[in-house]
DNA sequence: CAGTTTAAGTCAGCCTTGTTGACATTCCAA
DNA sequence: TTGGAATGTCAACAAGGCTGACTTAAACTG
């Protein structure tokens, strides 16, 4: 029972309420940092975090339908429509009627949309790159493993589907 | 230059734009899961996530001043005041005038406030405990390391101060 | 073909939670 | 003792969530 003893004595330390509480606080503070840089950029323009999220996932999955995006973002049609409409009007997003199913609208970034997406993502990635570099590859693998385990099953499926669609 | 070759060939894979992008998506989806359970509980009552955050940090640092809480939460006085006022009216939080400096208000949870805080934290911790258990101690250590590296320096200080104040 | 379902968009109105600006109280130092 | 700085409160507004009801167009189905 060496395994068991070790587990209780050391390894399970990370499951105490205090450790879990610290984990929650880490999530809170880190998420603030995670969104801070793009938010700062968007402050100047008349866009918000909701626009960033839409841009990100349209970039990730060009040609996605409105319904699909709805599921990924987890918001209502009306909420999404508001941000989508302004970005279409401003020429950042293009909405094309579907060929096979004409009810659907497929979403693409225009050149301007792509430029803004890149600007926002670059700002965000710069911070993540620094964090990943500081923490090292082992830590990053653990980071990903814990985050994935923390997702709702439905979201985990969405996440994995997006990953598979790329490299 | 074995070190360098390994770094380029394997270890630095986690710093590619694609990996960073996946890390960002993981943060997005995981944070949704992270807040889902308390949010569900709060839906029934007429409170929101802001109330949960205030309860959490008043529980963590009883007797904290409004200003202190402001810095931790990173919102404006007015935002915090609104949620604080309703919770004081509802008998969840107690606000005592400072003895040495009467301008300050020191915040404490009442018994009812403590009960709600516990209910919310328990729901959140249940998910985190499962995630931590699934991922294992090494992963959890990495998770914490990356999150800490991702915080703004100011927030990292707040976070570490809170940790030191406890165990 | 007629009727139902589905995808998308719209309008109206609500809630939470962020914001800025003005104001009262208290403390402290010149 | 008085004027500035710090703390907290109130009022009004904006962003971005939400629900519900409805329209339009296209697709499916018996």
Domain boundaries, chain B: 22-135
> Which nucleotides in chain D have some atom under 7 angstroms from a protein Cβ?
6-12, 15-21, 25-28
State the nearest Cα–Cα gap between A89 and chain B, in angstroms: 27
Q: List A residues 3-22 in contact with B (Cβ-Cβ < 8 A).
A: 11-15, 17-22
Cβ contact A79 with chain D strand, < 7 A = yes
> Which nucleotides in chain C have some atom under 7 angstroms from a protein Cβ?
6-13, 15-21, 25-28
Token code pair at residue A58: 């349209």
Within its chain, how far is the Cα of B91 from the centroid? Answer: 23
State the nearest Cα–Cα gap between B66 and chain A, in angstroms: 19
Contacts of A131 in chain B (CB under 8 A): 146, 149-150
Q: Which residue is nearest to nucleotide D7 (CA to C1')?
A: B103
Q: Where is average pLDDT lowest: A28-37, A142-151, B37-46, B102-111?
A: B37-46
Give the chain A residue whose CA is nearest to the CA of B133. A15
Mean pLDDT of A111-138: 96
Contacts of B163 in chain A (CB under 8 A): 22
Write the CB contacts of A107 (distance below 8 Å, at least 6 apart in sequence).
A58, A62, A63, A64, A65, A66, A69, A84, A93, A94, A95
Token code pair at residue B74: 């990173």
CB contact under 8 A, A26 and B147: yes
Residue with tokens 């640092």: B61
Q: Is the pLDDT of residue A102 over 70?
A: yes
Write the CB contacts of B111 (distance below 8 Å, at least 6 apart in sequence).
none
pLDDT of residue B3: 44
CA to C1' distance (Å), from B167 to D18: 41
| Burial state string for B83-100 with b = 16 or more CB within 10 A and e = fewer than 16 | bbeebbebebbbeeeeee
pLDDT of residue A69: 96
Q: Is the pLDDT of residue A68 over 90?
A: yes
- CA of A95: nucleotide with nearest C1': C8
State the nearest Cα–Cα gap between B25 and chain A, in angstroms: 7
Mean pLDDT of A73-98: 96
Alpha carbons A150 and B138: distance in angstroms, whole number? 16
pLDDT (tens place) for every residue of chain B, 167 residues total: 344 445 454 558 889 999 999 999 999 999 999 999 999 999 878 899 999 999 999 999 999 999 999 999 999 999 999 999 999 999 999 999 999 999 999 999 999 999 999 999 999 999 999 999 999 999 999 999 999 999 999 999 999 999 887 76
Q: Is the pLDDT of residue A3 over 50?
A: no
Alpha carbons B33 and A97: distance in angstroms, whole number? 33
Which conformational region is residue A151 in: left (phi greater than 0), alpha (psi within -120 to 50 degrees), or beta?
beta
pLDDT of residue A111: 97
Helix axes B153-165, A17-44, angle to 10 degrees: 160
Does the CB of A62 have a partner CB in chain B at under 8 Å?
no
Instruction: Tell me if the domain spanning A31-135 has CATH number 1.10.390.10.
Output: no
Q: List B residues 98-127 in contact with A (Cβ-Cβ < 8 A).
A: 121, 124-125, 127
Instruction: Tell me if the domain spanning B22-135 has CATH number 1.10.10.10.
Output: yes
pLDDT of residue A1: 41
Q: How confident is the model at residue A167 (pLDDT cuts 50, 70, 90)?
A: low
- The minimal CB distance from A146 to the residues B13, B131, B150 is found for B131
């Amino acid at each position: 029972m060496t395994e068991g003893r070790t587990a209780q004595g050391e390894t399970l330390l990370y499951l105490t309420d205090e450790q879990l509480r610290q984990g929650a606080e880490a999530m809170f503070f880190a998420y603030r940092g995670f969104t801070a840089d793009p938010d700062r950029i968007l402050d100047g323009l008349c866009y918000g975090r909701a626009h960033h999220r839409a841009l990100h996932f349209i970039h990730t999955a060009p040609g996605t339908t409105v319904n699909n995006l709805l599921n990924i973002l987890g918001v209502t049609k009306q909420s999404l429509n508001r941000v989508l409409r302004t970005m279409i009007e401003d020429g950042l997003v293009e909405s094309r009627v579907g060929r096979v199913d004409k009810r659907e609208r497929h979403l693409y970034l225009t050149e301007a949309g792509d430029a803004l997406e890149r600007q926002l993502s670059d700002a965000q990635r710069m911070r993540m790159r620094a964090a990943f570099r500081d923490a090292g590859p082992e830590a990053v693998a653990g980071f990903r493993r814990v985050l994935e385990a923390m997702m709702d099953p439905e979201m985990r499926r969405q996440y994995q589907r997006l990953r598979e669609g790329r490299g």
